Amino acid sequence: MSNQQTETQQEIVESEEINQTDTPQAPTTPYFGYSLLRDVLIPELLSNDTNEISYWAGKRLARKFPLSSIEEISGFFVKAGWGQLTILKTEKYNIEMELTGEVVKRRFTEYPNSSFHLEAGFVAEQVQQLKNRLTETYLTNKEKADKVLFSVQWDKKDIITPETRTERYKK
């Protein structure tokens, strides 16, 4: 084996190692496969119920992957290949967030009716677990700006205790 081949093989190995990191530039799932599921197959199967079921599924995912802070949600989004989630504003009973990134842009471009309800449900449940208050996320697609806005709101009076949570999510 020549030095040229050895150097090339080493460059390939180094390139593969770099591509396996958790940076926003290194997707861990091929976009085409991801979009086939999210924007073609799931809407075909669920039809008019896509948004509601996706929101519920996002909440279920959040229960399976509980996070310990609001800031960790952004890191999860990057790892999941959902885009970059940024906290814009935090108020007493509301958090405004923005979802951007190449995957969001491509989904809007290739599938104008893309649903981001899975992500919204995930955020709602994570915040609900952290705040121990009934929480909902409302979303607004901003296709021309290639972003999705999330308004996360919770009710100070509707407390979720560990007992309430256990009863609510039996199964």
**pLDDT one-digit tens code per residue, 89-139:** 999 999 999 999 999 999 999 999 999 999 999 999 999 999 999 999 999
Residue matched to tokens 């940024």: 86
pLDDT tens-digit profile of 46-87?
Answer: 999 999 999 999 999 999 999 999 999 999 999 999 999 999
Distance from C-alpha of 116 to C-alpha of 38, rounded to nearest angstrom: 9
pLDDT of residue 45: 97
Q: What is the mean pLDDT of residues 7-30?
A: 50
pLDDT of residue 109: 97
Q: How far is CA 75 from the centre of its chain?
A: 9
pLDDT band at 10 (very low <50, low <70, confident <90, very high): low
Are 22 and 84 in contact by the 8 Å Cβ rule? The answer is no
Of all residues in the chain, the percent with pLDDT exceeding 90 is 73
Q: Is the confidence at residue 23, as pLDDT, over 80?
A: no
pLDDT of residue 162: 75
pLDDT of residue 26: 54
Task: Give pTM, 2 decimals.
Answer: 0.80
pLDDT of residue 161: 81
Superfamily of domain 30-168: Trafficking protein particle complex subunit 3 (3.30.1380.20)
Q: What is the mean pLDDT of residues 165-171?
A: 65
Q: Is the confidence at residue 157, as pLDDT, over 60?
A: yes
Structure token digits, residue 63: 């229960």
* Ranges of each domain in the chain: 30-168
pLDDT of residue 166: 67
* Beta carbons within 8 Å of 84's beta carbon, 6+ residues apart: 24, 74, 77, 78, 99, 100, 101
Q: Is the confidence at residue 13, as pLDDT, over 90?
A: no
